[in-house]
Amino acid sequence: MAIGHTFTCDLCGAEAGRVGVHAPGEAVTDRDGDEIEPLMSRFDIDRADRARLMVTSGVGDVSFAEFDVKGVLRALGAADVGNSRVARALYAIDSELVPFWCPRCPGSYCSRHWETWDLFDDGFFDEKRGRCPKGHERKLID
């Protein structure tokens, strides 16, 4: 069973994002069946010997096969003291672990409250950027 945390939007209470650590060999659930499903299923099989980190949010989903497992688990262990503390600890490890969180507010926001756009370099995706409802801009996903 994955260890994780669900973050709620500070403005409306909807789900802003989820962060979950899956043990080696554990099936990854909650795939949405989009066009990358076959690719991600293959990723899960290829990386079955490792823990995996899944970040799911309306602003973007990210999977990690290499990450600071102990640091992430320690950060997730702070869940009883609030979303902001967990998000801040995850952000300190890697900003892509909480693309729904603004470190300047600090606040978690659902996709309805983020303004997002993609940047391309020579026709290829480079990064996703966003602006929180308070006007702070940051890189969300690289």
pTM above 0.85, yes or no: no
- pLDDT of 72 above 80: yes
**pLDDT score of 19:** 95
Pick from 115, 96, 113: nearest CA to 13: 113
3-state SS assignment for residue 46:
helix
Q: Give the integer Cα–Cα distance in Å for 78 and 65.
A: 22
Q: Which candidate, 20, 5, 21, places its Cα nearest to that of 79?
A: 5
What is the rounded CA–CA span in Å between residue 23 and residue 45? Answer: 13
Reported as a single tens digit per residue, the pLDDT across 102-123 is 999 999 999 999 999 999 998 8
| Average pLDDT score, the chain | 85
Are 112 and 103 in contact, with CB atoms under 8 Å apart? no
Give the other-Cβ count within 10 Å of 101's Cβ: 28
